[in-house]
Amino acid sequence: MTRIDVHSRRNGLQCPLHPQQLLSWVLFFLQTGLLYTFLVMLYPVTASPFIAIFGFGAQLSLFYFAFVVTRHNPEDPLTTGKFEEYARENNLSMEGKQELLSNTMWCKFCEHDVLKGSKHCRSCNKCVIGFDHHCNWLNNCVGKTNYPIFRKLM
């Protein structure tokens, strides 16, 4: 099956959504609702505002990092045509660019040259640079470009 035959997912918000991803959304909003319905009411009135603010901040940061990781496209820059942008973000010199481009591999699924260390994700149908795993909870691949944000989420 080639890349032309099957649509590749750009990020985790594209359909089809994974059932675990939908479950994570339900659990997130359920947890938020429970936090403000029960937990805040159990503490004394003087501590309640601080707990509410802390809980809101924690939930907001969790939502933010999950959204950023899910929205990010960790695809190999050679397959997207964004190698120059990738080189700029990683402060690569001309020699560094040439070294990366001289060590490419051929992906038989994408039918494209990819950077060494990239791996094809069958769930997303794309090559991901520094592929770690495909996360069903986020419905997105975790790789070199979004791993730092993923660690903050965990």
Q: Is 124 part of the annotated catalytic residue set?
A: no
Residue 23, C-beta contacts closer than 8 angstroms, at least 6 positions apart: none
Buried b (16+ CB within 10 A) or exposed e, 101-127: eeeebebebbebebbeebbbbeebbbb
The catalytically annotated residue of 121, 124, 135, 141 is 135
Q: What phi, psi does 134 have (nearest 5°)?
A: -100, 120
- Residues with catalytic roles: 135
